[in-house]
Amino acid sequence: MTEATDPPPNADAPEPTGGRFGMFGGVFTPSILTILGVVMYMRLGWVTGAAGLGAALAIIVVAHLISLATGLSVASIATNRTVGVGGAYFMISRALGGPAGASIGIPLFFAQALSVTFYIVGFSESVLQLIPPEYHVYVPTWAIGTAVNVALTALSLKSADLAIKAQYVIMVMIIASLVGFFTGRSDTFSTDITWVTPNANFALIFAAFFPAVTGIMAGVSMSGDLKDSRKSIPVGTLAAIAVGFLVYMGIAIWLGLNYSNEYLADAAHADSVFTLASVPATIYAGVWGATLSSALGSILTAPRTLQALSWDGLMPAALGKGYGPAKEPRVGTVLTFGLAQTGVMLGDLDAIAPILTMFFLATYGVTNLACGLQKWAASPSFRPTFVVPAWISISGAFGCFYVMSMINLGAMVAALLICGLIFAIAQRRQLGASYGDARHGIWAALVRSSLHRLRRSPFHPVNWRPNLVIFGGDPEKRPHLLHLGSSLVQDRGVVTYFHMLRGRVTELAKQRRAVFEQREPEFREKYSNVFFKVDIAEDVYRGIVAASQSYGVGEFEANAVMVGWTTKPERSEEYVRMLRELVMLDRALLVVRYHPTKKLGEGKNLHVWLGGDARTRAMLLLFAHLLTAHYRWRSMEITVFDHADSDAEKAETKARLQALLDEARIEARARVVLRQGRTLRDLMHVESDDADFALVGISLPGEGQSATAFSADVAGMLEELPTTILVHSAQSFEHEQVLLDRE
């Protein structure tokens, strides 16, 4: 087995201990302040009126169920292993690997950084409401935004501790606004409520509300600064979800009791929360607190996501440099400021706002998926103390992706394409370092489940496909076997190359492991569809028979064997006995004689000489079709040969052969050659001497017949032929159903 690749070491990465914040300051506070945001003050009234109080409460419940599923997944992952710097990125990369982490983490950083712009612009516009319009020209939005951005960035650069303490002040402002709201009462207070607004577009309303519950990752992103992430993240996240749910339900009910649906749904009354409050000034304080806290939370979390990406080698090392005892990500903070300021100066980011929302939702969806897949895969290393059933996490993932499609299908497609592109680049650049992630366990679980299902599914002959094992010794000495085997099977079956070591296990066990560790990475890179194995046998021929009959699991086993033609006439008896036994084991034979001069030819023409029984003749045609399906041989012309003793027999044989090719849907030229007293060997030498490649059907000698004479005859036939594969069908190959689609 190859050893797992560790992530790149980084001197700036801190030890997993020594965090500064507990559950309340590090997780609950940033999460709840992001949840209780602009939607609560500016959109919840419209949601309640447009849907009706009953439907609005249902929307709040469903949205929070998705949020709760994500919170439970986060809690489960956090109690399985310590969550390091990077929050959601750290969880995803350690569960699904580096490329998956990069595909989510990089867009998440930009989304967190640019979301600062939206919160700052929202704050700036609320301030302008208090300034007479004639003075707006002297106090433009960008000026207010720039001042706020500089102040918040300076605060976070000074110290994350100071920023967290500032959030306590903001929380007091929000609490004061809630007190002011719930102590207010309108003149139209009534319990006569319209629970559901007729003809309401509930999908649109749900999409408008859902961003209110997407703030739970604000606390998770502070994971690297927590004293005990295993305890703080689950408790703080779930507590924030619960409090947010109660607040939203309470505000919706109070609005529904005080105003009619028509009043709330009217865009002119978007300030219903302000007008209802007993002290409207407290609502302004709450709005400012919500926008400033969300902006400050993003300024704190975005650099830490970038820092984690850098420490894992997915971003330049300079971006991960930490300062001070707490390794503060000041470079990332400055970069976050720059991105946010660019947005402030542009003034209008509405075009990309939906895509940013998609990145957040994709993060939550993939986090759910990571937890659900790890639970389903039942890896022994996944032992969270907070256990969540797999179906809850999978349902949460489905809910996130469904909401993405509801909010903006075009933005969803754009976001997923960007994530997919980053994943492909990371994979191509081999940024696939293993962090002890769950990918291996997940794939193993999928294979295990598929094998059990395959076992219960009855096999039909039309589903036959070659699952090929190649016995070629040192692959550097016989690379042609690899080229031919991988070209023949491609992705239509499984190819396994066996390097047989001759000797005893007691003597060669260490060499076996060394050969595997040296060769397997080369195979994985050059022949992605070929598996590599090393076996030890005292006799190679006996070892081939043993490996051929034992290789496979359940219904999924090898059904075809490729070997090289023997170059040792003195061992022809053992060699032919091996071939016979492989046929008895119901394995198709592909015996390769490689021409040292012609090699694999130019790929222009393939000659197929029909021989053997009906099954073998059909298998020859099938293998010719599979071989020319490969990109290297795609332009090769197939000529199928048969022979006859008279002109009448020739015409009849050619008509029969052409009908066979037509029925089998094989694009090939039929050619029938008159013997005219010549041996089949002579015919083949004349017709196929200039071919690039040949497939020839054979019959093996029976018991009592001379294996030496058979080997000599075949060797003579092969002398003037190009590189050739001798084919003998498996006994169970039902050729009429596979090739001709006959019952």
Q: Which residue has the tokens 């044989």?
A: 653
Contact between 152 and 115 (Cβ < 8 Å) = no
Residue 615 CB neighbours (<10 A): 21
| Confidence category of residue 8, pLDDT binned at 50, 70, 90 | very low
Record the tokens describing residue 655, joined without a space.
């008509």
Least-confidence region, from 322-336, 345-359, 723-737 = 345-359
Residue type at position 79: T
pLDDT tens, residue by residue, 393-414 = 999 989 888 888 888 888 888 8
List, for residues 578-619, the tens digit of each pLDDT value.
Answer: 999 999 988 999 999 988 888 887 778 889 988 888 888 888
Per-residue pLDDT averaged across 317-324, rounded?
Answer: 79
User: Is the confidence at residue 245, as pLDDT, over 90?
Assistant: yes
Kindly state the average pLDDT of the residues 239-255.
94
SS3 at position 537: strand
SS3 track for 186-214? CCCCCCCCCCCCCCCCHHHHHHHHHHHHC
Q: Give residue-wise pLDDT tens across range 705-737.
A: 888 888 888 888 888 888 899 999 888 777 666
557: which strand partners?
Answer: 552
Strands 588-593 and 724-728 come out as: antiparallel
Q: Is 432 exposed, middle or buried (0-12, 13-18, 19+ CB in 10 A)?
A: middle
pLDDT at 4: 41
**pTM of the complete model beyond 0.85:** no
The model's pLDDT over 122-154, given as tens digits with 9 standing for 90+, comes to: 788 778 777 877 777 778 888 888 999 898 888
Predicted confidence (pLDDT) at residue 158 exceeds the cutoff of 80: no
The pLDDT score that the predictor gives to residue 657 is: 86
| Tokens of residue 616, six digits | 């073998």
Query: What average pLDDT score do residues 220-232 get?
Result: 74
pLDDT score for 409: 82
**Mean pLDDT across the chain, nearest whole number?**
81
CA–CA separation, 651 vs 664, rounded Å?
20
7 exposed, middle or buried (CB, 10 Å; 0-12, 13-18, 19+)?
Answer: middle
Q: Which two tokens stand for residue 264?
A: 């709330």
Average pLDDT over residues 177-201: 84
Query: What pLDDT was estimated at residue 57?
Result: 94
Kindly state the helix (H) or strand (E) to which residue 303 belongs, with its residue range. Answer: helix 280-311
Q: What domains are defined for the chain?
A: 23-428 (1.20.1740.10), 461-739 (3.40.50.12370)
Q: Is the model's pLDDT at 11 over the cut of 50?
A: no
Listed residue (298, 311, 288) closest to 337, CA to CA: 298
pLDDT at 625: 86
pLDDT at 342: 86
Please give the pLDDT value at position 719. 84
By percentage, how much of the chain surpasses pLDDT 90?
A: 11
> Residue 87, by phi and psi: left (phi above 0), alpha (psi -120 to 50) or beta?
left
| Tokens found for residue 451 | 């094998």
pLDDT tens, position by position, 617-634: 888 888 888 888 887 778
Which range among 57-61, 313-317, 484-488 shows the weakest confidence by mean pLDDT?
313-317
Tens digit of each residue's pLDDT (9 = 90 or more) over 506-529: 899 999 999 888 888 888 878 777
- In this prediction, residue 432 has a pLDDT band, given cuts at 50, 70 and 90, of very low
Segment 330-345 shows an average pLDDT of 87
Per DSSP bridges, beta strands 605-609 and 669-674 are unpaired
pLDDT classification of 55: cutoffs 50, 70, 90: very high
